[in-house]
Amino acid sequence: MPIHNADIARRFEEMADLLEIKGDNPFRIRAYRNAAQVIEDSSHELATLIAAGEDTSQLSGIGKDLAAKIQEIVETDTCAALEKLRKSLPEHITDLLTIQGLGPKRVRTLYQELGIGDLQALQQAAEAGRIRELPGLGRKTEQHIIEAIKAQTDTSRRFLRAAMQPYVDSLTAYLRKQTGVTRITVAGSYRRGRETIGDLDLLVLTDQPPQLMQAFVTYDEVRDVLAHGETKSSVILKMGIQVDVRVVPTASYGAALHYFTGSKAHNIAMRKRAQQRKWKLNEYGLLDGERVIAGTTEEEVFEALDLPFIPPELRENRGELEAAEQRQLPNLITLDDIRGNLHAHTRASDGRHTLAEMAQAAMEAGHDYLAITDHSKRLTVAHGLDEDRLLAQIEEIDEWNEQSDTFTILKGIEVDILEDGTLDLDDAVLKLLDMVIVSVHHKFNLPAEKQTERIMRAMDKPYTTFVAHPTGRLLLQRPPYAVDVARLIAHARQRGCFLEINGNPQRLDLNDIHCQAAKAAGVPLVINTDAHHADDIHRFEAGITQARRGWLTATDVINTLPLAKLRRRLEQARKG
């Protein structure tokens, strides 16, 4: 069974959680968390490195003890130390950590004081009013727990799309090796680029369906086989997601791909279009009675319905058929359009690499520029910069730029928006920067009116360039804070600043609907990776997919501009 980096990192995070719940040594806990992050950030599969005989203890933050555990996980899919920890606590106690606001310390309190070891017990205790009696919790926390458990049922079976990629890649590579297979396509919400997905749908062309299905259901990563047929089988992978594989004939492949890509609303609109012509559209083809009009490719299905090809990311019935009919579909942005990253952190705050190392990674990615935007002083947990440290970094960047003729580091900061809308650093130092990112990192629970006004006041500051991750959400972990995004978009248009699409797969903030609204309002956007590691510099795929779902073209995104034009746009966004 292939062991992916995400599998190893997940085990190390679980070990850190369990140790913290038990009140273990904080240095030991931090070592596991740091190792999990290093593994998650690595651009190389550790299993491949180990198979090649390489020593993983040489990786930053990975010593011999952790390297031995990594090798144990890769070779046996188990970790004795983790199994021992699991047996020392209730089986489902880490489920409590999925509730926003419940960290390991609070979970330890709940377990020690009330014997709570799973979500059911937590819900019962909250509904009985027992949580509010514990120190450091209270009535508000108790009510939040009730609401969070209820809301969790909507996302409990969903997975981050980006996190599924290594599993998709491994499975499709395995199936492609099977005799007779000529084509495999991942359909469904994964193909449409949804932020989270509930399952995976794969379509296969093969002249040996029974052999393909047998290979699929006996794949090493399969936990349960739900159905095993000659042309369709369903399984649950060991990491928890359901996968359906369908074998379809060549003549129907395009129609089936369109049908199983969805969305449901888009498919209904397309079927209605076919019905207006007295035809029928389904997974078998576009049909006029018994006569097949089209079906081999998606392109011929669209063409037969007098439409150009509609990219999968747009198939949500949000006006794509009308735009296609009028030949006004956008020329969607691609990865090749990006010229640089405008949100990146170094070791000066909570990044893992030096300024020079981040710049080197950006150059290797083929970029023309990189903005260094470490955190400001209020974010003490991230070792944020005060005015003096920022001035020193400005000097370091100037010295670096003097030695480079082909690449430019832009001077920036990600400055905290304080509760009253003021910024965390003085204008005297902010005016020296090429760009100032403003963002919310605390006081997420303000009422919508106050939160919106807070961010708008920060946008009004003279040197503000753009707002980072404007709604503060973490997918499947933390909902957006209450904020009127429509007002933020309107204010950005009036003020002349930008909004960010944070391409971190756990954020993807703004969402696709807000991206489309910003585009309609004429508000420029910037796609960033929010890089905290050199390997993050080039990881724009998730952000680009989000932008495509928001109908964005290269001209809607400012970091597609060459440096000289970008500098002018950044300067225009400043009022000072």
| pLDDT at residue 154, as a whole number | 52
| pLDDT at residue 149, as a whole number | 77
Compute the distance between CA of residue 457 and CA of residue 421 in angstroms, rounded to an integer.
5
The residue range of the domain holding 124 is 5-152
| Whether residue 418 is found in the same domain as residue 542 | yes
| pLDDT at residue 102, as a whole number | 82
Q: Measuring CA to CA, how many Å separate 402 from each of 59, 336, 397, 455?
A: 32, 28, 9, 36
Low-confidence ranges of the chain (pLDDT < 50): 155, 576
| pLDDT at residue 554, as a whole number | 98
Using one digit for the tens of pLDDT, what is the confidence trace for 421-470? 999 999 999 999 999 999 999 999 899 999 999 999 999 999 999 999 99
In DSSP notation, 65-124 reads HHHHHHHHHHHHS--HHHHHHHHTS-TTGGGGGGSTT--HHHHHHHHHHH---SHHHHHH
Helix then strand then coil, % of the chain, to nearest 5: 50, 15, 35
The count of domains in the chain is 4
| pLDDT at residue 438, as a whole number | 97
| Whether residue 426 is found in the same domain as residue 284 | no
Return the CATH number at 116.
1.10.150.110
| Whether residue 167 is found in the same domain as residue 290 | no
| Residue 168 located in a structural domain | yes
Instruction: Give the domain-ending residue among 247, 281, 309.
Output: 247
Using one digit for the tens of pLDDT, what is the confidence trace for 512-554? 999 999 999 999 999 999 999 999 999 999 999 999 999 999 9
Return the CATH number at 382.
3.20.20.140
| Residue 330 located in a structural domain | no
